[in-house]
Amino acid sequence: MKNILPIITLLMFMGCHSKKDTNVYSDYPIQDVKLSQVKLTDSFWLPRIQLIQNKVIAHAFEKCHTEGRIENFQTARKVMNGDEGHTRGTMPFDDTDVYKVLEGVAYSLINNPNPALEAFSDSIISIVAMGQEPDGYLTTWRTIDPLHPTSEWVPGGPRWDHLEISHELYNSGHLFEAASAYHWATGKDNLLNIALKNADLLVNVFGDSTRHAVPGHQIVETGLIKLYNITGNENYLKLSKKFLDLRGDTTVREIWGATNIQDHKPVLQQNEAVGHAVRAVYMYAGMTDIAVLYNNPDYLNAVHTLWDNMTDKKMYITGGIGSRHHLEEFGDNYELPNLTAYSETCAAIGSIYWNERMFRMTGDAKYYDLIERTLYNGVISGISLDGTHFFYPNPLESDGEFAFNKGSCTREEWFDCSCCPTNLIRFIPYVPNLIYATEGNQLYVNMFMGNEANLKLNDKDIKVTQTTNYPMDGNVALQISTPTPEDFILKIRVPGWAKDEIASSELYQYANIKPTYYSIIINDEVIIPKITDGYISLERTWRNDDKINLYFPMQVRQVVADTQIDNLQNQMALEYGPFVYCAEMVDNPNSFDDIHLSTNYDYNVVRKPDMLGDINLITVKGEDKNYTFIPYYTWANRGANRMQVWFPEI
């Protein structure tokens, strides 16, 4: 049945767009409800967003200042004026850290106006403008000293000569993403004008039919599409598609042939998630945009195939992806080590961006099941509870000795390559954008977070108030407010764990399942729900102050892995609600090496509001010792420590 789903989806998609016409561009059938329409009140997510706003942004700006990332834009202007200068920093993409922090500022300003922060960010944007060359080119290391790049592994020379490694187009991509967000948040064009000038240069250089180069590190593709959405300039969209179409195409260019940069074969022939995991999921997100905007069934089929491979053969239980430290790559099918797992924070974030697009293309809840799993485990594990220490990789085991985190075996304040901290800054304030979506007369509730949302459905004003302690428990209350009675379909996602599914993946299964009996009450009336594509579908005339109460009872669930993952045979992991759990030595000083799990054990869940920022603690008595487990995302907040997710099963 699973193998036929992409075909069914394709037929449905083609039915909605009966004529394939690459001159008439389409849009996603499902639209997100923007975070500008959502006021977050959530006890779990609001403090995390406020931590970004009140502490982490300042921390990152300070690091960008002290380590020269901001100064490089000023130095580039001095060099253009005939003075000498030297690049500070070590990475050819250091410019993007500034862009990503500005993007995080943009999303923060939408629901948390801060005139001082906005004014400071405007001053940073004026410094960014200083680094732009007159024709729009903007990569500071090359402007400052093109023959001596900041990184030893980037060759010097003329513009665009070494796109496989230079990150010139990667820099442009993050500029475009940040500029789009800042324009949307503030209405200002200061950063947007810089981006458009750079994008026009890219169109002039790479839009030429004789130019067949592609970026080494993807993201410019989605960035160009965001600029297209703002301006309507079709040249940006066409260039995005051209970059994808040319990848791996030996008929028009001498390809690099490297799986690491997904240039080993044309994208429509790629059927396995390979290479650098972050580059891959950024590319898959761009491919999904092209599938929709061009009504292109070939692209559609390709992204379905790649998604199936990633989730069925190459994904960690946390939703993390990328198993190899070497070149930050996906490994082979079923190559999922624990101690040496890479599972980069940026890759988890990129996976969410891709899955959100897949949902808006298909309306299938399985994509949000994976978003939730990745969000609560593979993403927020990357930032400490105090907001100033980070993980680059996110392994599923630590022996307290292997320096997995860029030379450390615990969290670090910053990195020479700080893509992950700044990616968290741009992503976490964006999270409320994931809660709701609309399609015609259908309103999707995808995530469970306390909030008040004011939106339009078929041009009718609808207010939704969501009250919940999720993810600490599975109780959710929704209130619908409408000026007049309205007919529409409310679609509420049933969490994957409540359906006994692990992100629709064949890699992991729950052992010894105890049936979950979730219930729905509308205005004190118990409802037997209709489930479609993973959603409770409630079609009715909604009246002002209608109330929906959902109960998704949580239980400790034991997870076992596919037999083809050799290192996880006779191993077991624990989950509770959306959280994957782990054990740390600090909680099990006398029993850590003896921990084992069994489906016969009685697991106890205890709320600990004063521990690790408020958690549900799992305890169990083994054969002769007690074991304690904490949510995976909270580990290494008490210093370097041994940690495991998987344990022997008896």
Of 246, 273, 298, which residue is a domain's last? 246
Task: Locate 368 and state its tokens.
Answer: 């949000």
Please answer whether residues 287 and 302 qualify as being in contact, where contact means their C-beta atoms are separated by less than 8 angstroms: yes
pLDDT of residue 505: 82
Same domain for 610 and 531 = no
- The residue-averaged pLDDT of 441-449 equals 98
Answer whether residue 483 is part of any domain: yes
Answer whether residue 348 is part of any domain: no
Residue 19 has pLDDT above 90, yes or no: no
25-41 burial, b if ≥16 CB within 10 A, otherwise e?
eeebbbebbebebbebe
Answer whether residue 72 is part of any domain: yes
pLDDT of residue 506: 84
Provide the phi-psi class of 561: left if phi over 0, else alpha when psi is between -120 and 50, else beta: beta
Answer whether residue 608 is part of any domain: yes
Please answer whether residues 253 and 213 qualify as being in contact, where contact means their C-beta atoms are separated by less than 8 angstroms: yes
Three-state SS sequence of 235-303: HHHHHHHHHHHHCCCCCCCCCCCCHHHCCCCCHHHCCCCCCEHHHHHHHHHHHHHHHHHCCCHHHHHHH
pLDDT of residue 15: 32
516 φ/ψ angles, rounded to the nearest 5 degrees: -100, 125
- The residue-averaged pLDDT of 453-480 equals 97
Q: Is the dihedral of CA 141, 147, 153, 159 positive or negative?
A: positive
Q: Which of 293, 352, 360 minimizes the C-alpha distance to 32? A: 360
Task: Locate 428 and state its tokens.
Answer: 């976490």
How many whole angstroms separate alpha carbon 376 and alpha carbon 631?
9
Answer whether residue 310 is part of any domain: no
Least confident of 174-183, 254-263, 266-275: 254-263
Answer whether residue 122 is part of any domain: yes
Q: What angle do CA 623, 628, 629 make, to 5 degrees?
A: 125
Task: Locate 165 and state its tokens.
Answer: 């490694």
Answer whether residue 595 is part of any domain: yes
Q: Per residue in 586-609, pLDDT tens?
A: 999 999 999 999 999 999 999 999
Residue 231 has pLDDT above 70, yes or no: yes
Same domain for 122 and 239 = yes
Task: Locate 487 and state its tokens.
Answer: 């007919």
| H-run or E-run covering 561 | strand 556-561
How many whole angstroms separate alpha carbon 319 and alpha carbon 530?
28
How many whole angstroms separate alpha carbon 152 and alpha carbon 168?
16
State the virtual CA torsion across 247, 249, 255, 256 in degrees, nearest 10: 40
Residue 580's identity, in one-letter code, is V
- What is the residue-averaged pLDDT of the chain? 94
How many whole angstroms separate alpha carbon 64 and alpha carbon 22?
42
Same domain for 494 and 461 = yes
Please answer whether residues 334 and 564 qualify as being in contact, where contact means their C-beta atoms are separated by less than 8 angstroms: yes
Three-class DSSP category at 435: coil
- The residue-averaged pLDDT of 492-514 equals 89
Q: Is 484 exposed, middle or buried (0-12, 13-18, 19+ CB in 10 A)?
A: exposed
Same domain for 591 and 481 = no
Of 209, 224, 246, which residue is a domain's last? 246
Residue 8 has pLDDT above 90, yes or no: no
How many whole angstroms separate alpha carbon 234 and alpha carbon 244?
16
Residue 249's identity, in one-letter code, is D
Residue 158's identity, in one-letter code, is P
Say how many domains are in the chain.
3
Three-class DSSP category at 41: coil
Q: Is 311 exposed, middle or buried (0-12, 13-18, 19+ CB in 10 A)?
A: buried
pLDDT over 90 for what percent of the chain? 90
Name the more confident of 212 and 505: 212
223-244 burial, b if ≥16 CB within 10 A, otherwise e?
bbbbbbbbeebebbbbbbbbbb
Q: Per residue in 448-461, pLDDT tens?
A: 999 999 999 989 99
Q: Is the dihedral of CA 332, 320, 165, 308 positive or negative?
A: positive
Q: Which of 439, 454, 446 minimizes the C-alpha distance to 489? A: 439
Residue 615 has pLDDT above 70, yes or no: yes
pLDDT of residue 100: 98
Task: Give all strands of the β-sheet with 530-532 in edge-to-edge order.
Answer: 31-32, 436-439, 442-445, 486-493, 535-542, 530-532
Q: Per residue in 354-388, pLDDT tens?
A: 999 999 999 999 999 999 999 999 999 999 999 99
Same domain for 503 and 597 = no
Q: Per residue in 163-210, pLDDT tens?
A: 999 999 999 999 999 999 999 999 999 999 999 999 999 999 999 888
Answer whether residue 589 is part of any domain: yes
Same domain for 70 and 207 = yes
CATH code (residue 458): 2.60.420
Same domain for 142 and 59 = yes
- pLDDT bucket at 528, cuts 50 / 70 / 90: confident
- Those residues whose C-beta lies under 8 Å from the C-beta of residue 62, and which sit 6 or more positions away, are none
How many whole angstroms separate alpha carbon 406 and alpha carbon 391?
9
End-to-end Cα spacing for the chain: 33
| H-run or E-run covering 310 | helix 297-313
- The residue-averaged pLDDT of 109-120 equals 96
Residue 5 has pLDDT above 70, yes or no: no
Same domain for 441 and 499 = yes
β-pairing verdict for 475-481 and 460-468: antiparallel
Same domain for 524 and 579 = no
Same domain for 477 and 586 = no
Of 193, 226, 246, which residue is a domain's last? 246
How many whole angstroms separate alpha carbon 428 and alpha carbon 150?
30
Number of Cβ atoms within 10 Å of the Cβ of 569: 12
- pLDDT bucket at 24, cuts 50 / 70 / 90: low
Quote the DSSP letter at residue 390. B
Same domain for 83 and 104 = yes
- The residue-averaged pLDDT of 534-542 equals 95
Please answer whether residues 640 and 595 qualify as being in contact, where contact means their C-beta atoms are separated by less than 8 angstroms: no
Q: Write the CA distances from 275 to 4, 311, 315, 327, integer angstroms.
A: 27, 15, 14, 8
Three-class DSSP category at 386: coil
Could you tell me the residue range of the domain that residue 177 belongs to? Answer: 42-150+164-246
Same domain for 508 and 465 = yes
State the virtual CA torsion across 94, 122, 429, 166 in degrees, nearest 10: -20
Three-class DSSP category at 538: strand
Concatenating the DSSP letter of every residue in 73-98 gives HHHHHHHHTT------SS-TTTHHHH
